[in-house]
Structure 1
C-alpha cells in the first residue's frame, strides 16, 4: 500500500512538472551552459557547472550544487555564459537548504561583459532583515537583454546584520535563466521571430510584444504609426502619445495649434501655454494686451506688469500713474523720483525752488546747490555778495575772492593800491609787483620809433657829409681860378664876363641848379 502511495506521489509530481514545462513559453537559456565561480572547494567536487546541470537537489552532498571556498575572501561570485545576447524574462535560484545566513545580501546582475563581477545592470538585491525572510528558492523578474548572468555576494566590516555569515560564499544548487535569444520568442523552443517593427528585433520572450519600437511606430507589436506631428516621429510604445511636438503644435498627439501670440510659435506640449509672448502680449496663452504705458509695449508674461520702463511721464508697476509736472520728461518707475527737473526746480519730485541768485536759475536736483551764480554773488546758494572792489563785481563762487581788479588795485579782494612807480599804475593782482612788459602792439611801436630815429640820424649825417664835400670842391676851384687870372689877362676878362654861379661844372652835361644845402654853405 505504501509503495502504491509512493508511486502515486511520483506520478503527481511528474504531472505537475509536465504541466509546468508545457505552459512555460520560453526555455532555460542557462541549462548546460559554461559557468565559472570565484573559487572552488572540495577538490572540484562542487564546480560552477553544478548549478546548471538541471538537478535541483538542495542537499550539497548530493553533488548537484556549486560551492565557493569559505576561506577565500569577503567577496564571492558565480557566473553563467548564455552563449549569445538574449532577451531575459525571469531568473530562478535554488540555494542550499537551511543556509539563509550565507545567501543573505546577494545581488543579481545581467551584463554583456565580464570585466568585473558587478558589470551590467543590477536586477535584484536581497535586503532581508531576518534570517527566516531570506528565500532559498525564488524567481526574480529580470526583463533585460544580456549574455551573462552573475550572482554576487560580499561581507562588509561590520556586517549589515549580525546574523549574516562572517565570510562571503555561494552554494547554488541550480540557476535557471528563462528567455529567448534576441529576435526570437515563444513555444518553449523560442522558434518564433519577433516583429520587424521591434527595435533591434527584440521582443518579449513569452508574448512576442516589442520591448521598444523603431522610430515612427507604436503598439504591442509596433504595428501603428506615430503622429506626423510628433517630433522626430517618436511616440510612446503603448499609447502612441508623442514625447515632443513639432514647432507650433501641442497635445498628446500634437494635433493642436499653439497661439499665434506665442513667441516664435512655441508652447507647452501638455497645456498649450506659451513659453514666451510676442511684444505687447501677456498671459498663459498670450491673449492679453500689455499696457500702452509700458515702454515699447513690453510687460511680464504672467502679471502684465511693465518689464523695465514706462513711457515718458508715467510710473508705477503698470505705468498708470503720472510723474510730477516739474519732472523733465521722466521719473523712476518704482518711487516716482524725477530723473531731471525743469529749470528753477529741485528735489526728488522737483517740488522745490532753486535759490533766486543761481545763474540761469539752475541748481543741482538732489541738493538744491547752485551750479553757478549771477554776477555779484557767491556761495553754495549764491546768497553772499562779492566785494565791490572786484572788477565788474565778479568773484569766485566758492571763496568770494575777486577774479580781477581795476587798474591800480591788487589783492584777493582788490583792496590794496599798486606802487606809484608802476607804469600806468598797473601791477600784478596776486602780489602787487609792477608789470613792465607791454603788449605786442606797444613793443612794435617802440621798434618803429627806434627805426625812425635811426633814419633821421642817417639823413642828417648824409647831409653834413655832402655839405663838407661841396665846400672842399668850392675852395679848390676858387684857388685854381685865381691862379689862372694871374697868368692871362684875357682869361680874366673872359671869366669876368661869365656870371658867378658859385660853382663850376665838372661834366659836359648841362649844369644843374645849385643844391639847397650847397647854397646854405655858400
Structure 2
C-alpha cells in the first residue's frame, strides 16, 4: 500500500512538472546562432539547431548542426536578442538514427559538455548552468533537459579535448558540437514571470528581472532589500543591496536610503554630502565652522568639541587652548611663574622673558585710539571752517551797510531839489534789498544807481 502511494505521488509530481515546463515558450526558435568551427562545404550550419526541425537526427537529414573534425574545442551559441528569463533547456543530440547505447560512437562526442548563460558572448563572464561530470557512453541521454532559472541573452554550448589532459574512459579524442535542436524555454517578454509569463516582476527588482517561477528579485535597485525588494535600507546602510554605510548625520539621523546623503546636514566634526569626511585640519564643530586653539605641538584638536587631547602649546590654557596665559604666567598650560618684570616690560607668555613688546591686545587698543583721534580732528576742522565762513559773511554785510550810509551822507550835504528830500529819507530808512546781499561790490553798484537817480532828480 505504501509503495502504491509513493508511486502515485511520483506520477503526480511528474505530471505537474511537465505541465509547468510546457507552459513556457521556446525563446530560441529561429534566433541567430553561431558556431566556432563550421563543417565546410556542407549545409550543417549553426542555425540548424534552432530551426524547429529534429525528426531526422542524422547528418544526411539536414536538420542538425555538425562542427568541423579534429578540433580541440567546440563552441556553439544562440542569441536570444535581449536579456530574458530562462526556465530550462532541452538538447537533442545527433544519433544518426541508430540505437543509442555504448556502441554508438556519437555518444562519446558529448561527454563532458557544458552549458553557460551569459549577457555577453564570452562564456567565462557568464553563469555555468550545467557541466557533465558523471555520464558515460552507456548513460548519457540523447535528449537532455536541464533546469536553469537564470536571466541572460546568450546560451552557450561548449566542449573541449585539450592535448595533455587526461579525460575519463569513453571520451572522444576531439571535441564536437553536433546538435539537432537546442531549445531554450522561458518568458519571451522581459519583466514577467509565472507559468504563463503574465505576472509582472516587482517594481524594485534590478532591471525588473525576477525569478521566473516565484517572482523573487534577482537583485534590488539602490535603496531596497528583501526577497521582492519591498523594504527600504535601514540600520545605517544605503545604496545597491544596502551594502554601503551611512555617514555621521545630524543627531544620528538615518541617511537617504538611496544615495546616502544626510538630509539635515552633518553632526559635529564631519562634513561633505554624505558626512563621511572629518573636519579639515584646524577646524571642528558643527559644519566645521569653528577654529581650533593652539594645541600642543600644533596638533589637530578634537573634531567634535575642539579640545586639545594633549594639552596646550606654550602661552595658552583651557580645554580648547584659546585663552592666553594671564600676567605672571607662561609656558605649557601656563604652569610657569614669570620673574619680576618692570611696569614697562611685561612677561612673555611663551618664553617667560621680560619684553617691551606689546601684546596684540595693546596694539589693537592703540589702533582704536588713533581712529578716534582722527574722527575728532575731522569734527574740529569742520566746526572751525563753518565759524570762519559765518564771520566772513557777516563782515561783508557790515561793510556794505557802512558804504551805503557814507554815500547817503555825502549826497545829503549837497543842495537838492525839494522833491528829492523825500526820496533820500525813504532810501535811508529802507533795508538792503535781498538781491544786494550777494557781495559788497553788488551792494555798492545798486547804491550808486539809487544815488544817481536822486541826484538827477
Query: Shared fold by TM > 0.5?
Result: no
Larger Rg: 1
Higher helix proportion, which one? 2
Q: TM-score range by the shorter chain?
A: 0.3 to 0.5
Task: Work out which structure has the larger RCO, using CA pairs closer than 8 Å and 6 or more positions apart in sequence.
Answer: 2
TM, length-normalised to structure 1: 0.38
